[in-house]
Amino acid sequence: MPYSSFASMPCTLSRPAALLGERWTLLLLRQIFLGTRRFEDFQATMDISRSVLTDRLNVLLQENVLKRVPYNEDGRTRHEYRLTEKGRDLYPVLMALRTWGEKWMAPEEEETFHLHHRDCGGGVRAKVECTECAAELTARDVQVTAKQ
């Protein structure tokens, strides 16, 4: 099945996979959540080609994950990239991938950065919970039923 056909599948997992499944897109979102906003800064921190970066930014703009915001530098108007509400809602997705990657794919000797809650200093993790009772859930706790 061609990669592009995932976007048209009637599945709430395949459509996001079509948008986010390309490795540069996830790394670009990581940089945005770390505070990178400008094209040149993305290139410098990610070692990504101009054409690939332009393509990925355009996809995220078209999907309303990012918006372009003008700023002035040296008398010229330029643009930086900011997350929309739709983009900010991807934070738990990236946190879940990061948590899984730290557990299963990071070498033990590898130093990594730590995330802390600004208010209390506690650690940060992704959590799946029941919308009614707030119980934390695993796949074994969830029953799938067809939508009526």
Which tokens go with 131?
A: 């919308």
To which residue do tokens 């056909």 refer?
5
Average the pLDDT over 109-136 and give the result.
89
pLDDT at 122 over 80: yes
Rg for the chain (alpha carbons), in Å?
A: 18
Which phi and psi angles does 29 have, rounded to 5°? -65, -40
23-33 vs 50-62: helix crossing angle, rounded to 10: 80
Q: State which CATH number among 3.90.1150.10, 1.10.3720.10, 1.10.10.10, 3.40.50.2300 fits the domain covering 3-137.
A: 1.10.10.10
pLDDT, tens digit, 9 for 90 and up, residues 17-55: 888 988 899 999 999 999 999 999 999 999 999 999 999
pTM, full prediction: 0.84
To which residue do tokens 């048209």 refer?
8
Residue 146: predicted pLDDT = 84
Residue 111: predicted pLDDT = 65
Residue 13: predicted pLDDT = 84
